[in-house]
Chain A
Amino acid sequence: MLEVCGINKTFGGLKAVTDANLSVSEGKIVSLIGPNGAGKTTLFAVISGFLKSDSGSVIFNGTDITGKPPHWICQQGLVRTFQVVQPFASLTVRENIAVGAHTRIAGRKQALARAADVAKLVDMDGMLEQSAGDLTIAGRKRLELARALATEPKLLLLDEVMAGLNATEIHELLPVIRGIRDSGVTIFLIEHVMQAVMSLSDYTYVLNQGVMIAEGEPKNVTRSPEVIEAYLGHGAAARIAKMAGGNA
């Protein structure tokens, strides 16, 4: 469904993403993990059209969407959420979601009605008339999700929807995301919360310093020494072994 080939992106002298390749197949939940500053959000921004890559291509459902504007990509059925939530603060929850619904629906009444339906999917139907600016962080994350869903995407890019949530809130959100997948929306997500990555994803990519260092089923990926090194620092495995040897 999504094919990313040889994406390179530099900011001045900094290589944010180097020759990134990945593919997401329909009906799956695929995750992208990696330490802070690995380039995950940059890669998301390139895929969704917010940043232009220096080279490489992004193919979505057989269409080349490389370098196309974000609104056009969204209309094709690929929508992203933001890591730092971006609610339309002075609008109500219902009006926020309706903005997403308007991508497919011209009528105001129909869009507002559709917004109420989408709110149910993320358990927000009790907060429809609340102002988005008054929501808790968990509420805002859900709203971000609902707005994206209202555009009726085929592929949903979720940038750290779990970040900043407590254990209970994460636990409540997991089935919501699975439900979205089961309704026929393919999901590609960036996540730091490993509990979520492990329990949700069918396949995982690991990005470190802009380079894809591992991929596979989540269980196998987290055992890979390269991945452990990426999280604990360069040469960490060797140092640990040395210290263990010295103490013996």
Chain B
Amino acid sequence: MNERTRLFGWILLLVTLAVVPLFLHSARWIDFLEMTLFVAVLGQGWNILAGYGGQYSFGHALFFGTGAYIQALLQVKFGLSPWVAMWFAVSGGALVGAFVGYLSFRYGLRGSYFALITLAFAEAFLVLSRSLKSITEGGQGVQLPLNQDPEQAIATFQFNFAGPFLSEYGFYYTIFIILLLAYGLTAWMERSRFGAQLVAVRENEDAAKALGINAFKVKMGAICLSAGITATCGVYYVQKFLFIEPGIAFGPGKSVEALFAPIIGGLGTVLGPLLGSLFIHGVGEMTKATIGQALGGRPGVDLILFGIILILVLAFLPRGLVGLLEAIWKRLTGGRNA
């Protein structure tokens, strides 16, 4: 697939995502799309560190939760504007990333050891956020005051009581813009020296070092970028749901969501996390609507199916859905543009 076809495909996809909600008037379906894009961004954050850098984190909730809590607490406790708080939230997430990265990479932790240390930090933050009641409000979580004044909708970054367009589509286009930024950043990275060096470290760290790459510095850059993007998801989450509590913020749920989409979609590709997220959410909804209904509306059927899909993808599609698409494209064009 050459550059031009690829670019055309991207434009087509992004334009579709930009206009599709305008044809949907059911809040449920717009919500569905919002969550799809949300997980696509969350997945891209993880993908930068794991897919491109080969450092498999199992605790990305750490960065998501840090971003979310900073965003919520700065507003509730210090009365900061959400538009100011978000810079602290994103840099706070990146800072926690730098801290965990420094500890792990300084001592050369790789593979499952790195996965375990990220999980351990996420769990530690989960416990801390529950027990430090004077700062985090403990297990009951932090609730943002609801703004009911349409005039203040943009200033408070709350669109529930805004005008007709914003209340319906405000959060969809918020996450869409975040997606554009995160994916643009990833695409830029892929074509830069930093990206090439990051992939070299993933492929073979010793060889990379021998070729003049400061592997520690490159990995630090990757974890900060990855954590920053993930923290942005935390900011979005808090503004949309106006609530955060320890389990949602630092529990394993978000860590798993973050890695599920890129693994199914295709590790180390820009498109992978988005494709994976569309697939997961699409299949999830379909399962709930068909098999779930047939079994009497029992929850959890989609989760069972996800388990099966994950096993199948790992067994037969090591390069994920992106790899599958490329193979199909190659066959359709007879390998001419491959």
Query: Which bucket holds chain B's interface residue count?
Result: 10 to 19
**Interchain CA distance A93-B167 in the complex, whole Å:** 52
B197 contacts the other chain (CB 8 A): yes
* Given A71-B215, A87-B204, A90-B203, A111 and B210 contact (CB-CB distance below 8 Å): no
Please state if A74 and B211 are interface contacts (CB–CB under 8 Å).
yes
The count of residues in chain A whose C-beta lies closer than 8 Å to any C-beta of chain B is 33
Please state if A50 and B206 are interface contacts (CB–CB under 8 Å).
yes
**Interchain CA distance A150-B206 in the complex, whole Å:** 17
From B193, B204, B208, B214, give the contact of A111 (CB < 8 A): B193
- The chain B residue with its CB closest to the CB of A79 is B210
Please state if A80 and B212 are interface contacts (CB–CB under 8 Å).
no
Chain B residues contacting A50 (CB-CB under 8 Å) are 206, 209-210
B100 contacts the other chain (CB 8 A): no
**Interchain CA distance A100-B204 in the complex, whole Å:** 13
B249 contacts the other chain (CB 8 A): no
B192 contacts the other chain (CB 8 A): yes
* Given A91-B199, A99-B200, A74 and B206 contact (CB-CB distance below 8 Å): no
> Looking at the complex, which of A101-109, A167-175, A215-223 is the stretch in contact with chain B?
A101-109
Binary contact readout B181-219 vs A (1 if CB under 8 angstroms, 0 otherwise): 000000000011100110110011011111111110000
Chain B residues contacting A90 (CB-CB under 8 Å) are 203
From A72, A79, A105, give the contact of B211 (CB < 8 A): A79
Please state if B193 and A88 are interface contacts (CB–CB under 8 Å).
no
User: How many whole Å from A157's CB to the nearest CB in chain B?
Assistant: 9
User: How many whole Å from B112's CB to the nearest CB in chain A?
Assistant: 21
From B191, B193, B214, give the contact of A71 (CB < 8 A): B214
Chain B residues contacting A74 (CB-CB under 8 Å) are 209-212
Please state if A91 and B212 are interface contacts (CB–CB under 8 Å).
no
Chain A residues contacting B197 (CB-CB under 8 Å) are 99, 102
**Interchain CA distance A70-B210 in the complex, whole Å:** 6
* Given A95-B196, A99-B196, A82 and B210 contact (CB-CB distance below 8 Å): yes
A86 contacts the other chain (CB 8 A): yes
* Given A95-B196, A99-B196, A111-B193, A71 and B209 contact (CB-CB distance below 8 Å): yes
List residues of B whose CB falls within 8 A of some A CB.
191-193, 196-197, 199-200, 203-204, 206-215
List residues of A whose CB falls within 8 A of some B CB.
48, 50, 69-72, 74-75, 79-82, 86-91, 95, 98-100, 102-103, 105-108, 111, 147-148, 150-151
